């Protein structure tokens, strides 16, 4: 297992769309294991392959308190089940330190493949539903800051760029 580097906004690689996964094999499962190690180490409840510079349609989640409910979504397809907006704010490991409520649908249905390549369908509500929509956006190169005003997005970008310069010693 290996911990992977998480790309941060405004890294252009976060804008690349993921490709449909043709084969769920041991190599993909090794990547999934690395993604879980990375997500748990970063204290996140979701992680998309895009965030670790892999352009594939895959994300993982775990909403349990003790890393006991790992969920894998390969080639996910999402259908909103309500227009009622969620009340949950969201953050992103690629936009560290910023949180916003985006009014996403509070209930969704997802069809995807699991880590054995088997198709499943499930409904989610509340925070997990928000998280799934957030992760699915990553697979299309979208970030939650794209839903904010340009003013807010630019302010976040400048703060993160400054932090990134400081971290790199530039």
Considering only residues 73, 138, 156, 160, which one is a binding residue for ligand GNR as defined by CB under 6 A?
138
The DSSP code for 64 is S
Query: Is 100 considered catalytic here?
Result: no
Which of the listed partners (Ni ion, ligand GNR, none) does 91 bind, with a CB threshold of 5 to 8 Å by partner kind? ligand GNR
Of the candidates 16, 121, 135, 161, the residue annotated as catalytic is 135
Beta bridge partner(s), residue 119: 113
Going across the sheet that includes 71-80, the strands are 46-48, 58-61, 71-80, 107-113, 119-125
- Smaller CB distance to ligand GNR: residue 28 or 52? 52
CA dist., res. 167 & res. 17, Å (int): 27
CA 7 vs. chain centroid, Å, equals 12
Q: Which stretch binds Ni ion (CB under 5 A): 35-43, 79-87, 92-100, 110-118?
A: 92-100
Q: Could you say whether residue 57 binds ligand GNR (CB under 6 A)?
A: no
Total residues found in the chain within this entry? 170
Catalytically annotated residues: 135
* Binding residues for ligand GNR (CB under 6 A): 44-48, 51, 90-94, 130-131, 134-135, 138
């Amino acid at each position: 297992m290996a911990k992977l580097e998480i790309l941060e906004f405004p890294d252009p690689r976060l804008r690349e769309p993921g490709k449909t996964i043709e084969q769920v094999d041991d190599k993909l499962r090794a990547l999934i294991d690395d993604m879980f190690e990375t997500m748990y180490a970063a204290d996140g409840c979701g992680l998309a392959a895009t965030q670790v510079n892999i352009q594939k349609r895959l994300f993982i989640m775990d909403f349990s308190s003790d890393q006991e409910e790992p969920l894998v979504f390969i080639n996910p397809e999402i259908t909103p089940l309500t227009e009622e907006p969620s009340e949950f704010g969201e953050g992103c490991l690629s936009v560290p330190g910023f949180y916003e409520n985006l009014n996403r649908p509070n209930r969704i249905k997802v069809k995807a493949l699991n880590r054995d390549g088997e198709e499943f369908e499930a409904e989610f509500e509340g925070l997990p539903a928000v998280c799934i929509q957030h992760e699915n956006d990553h697979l299309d190169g979208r970030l939650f800051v794209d839903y904010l005003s340009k003013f807010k997005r630019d302010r976040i970008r400048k703060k993160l760029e400054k932090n990134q310069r400081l971290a790199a010693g530039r």
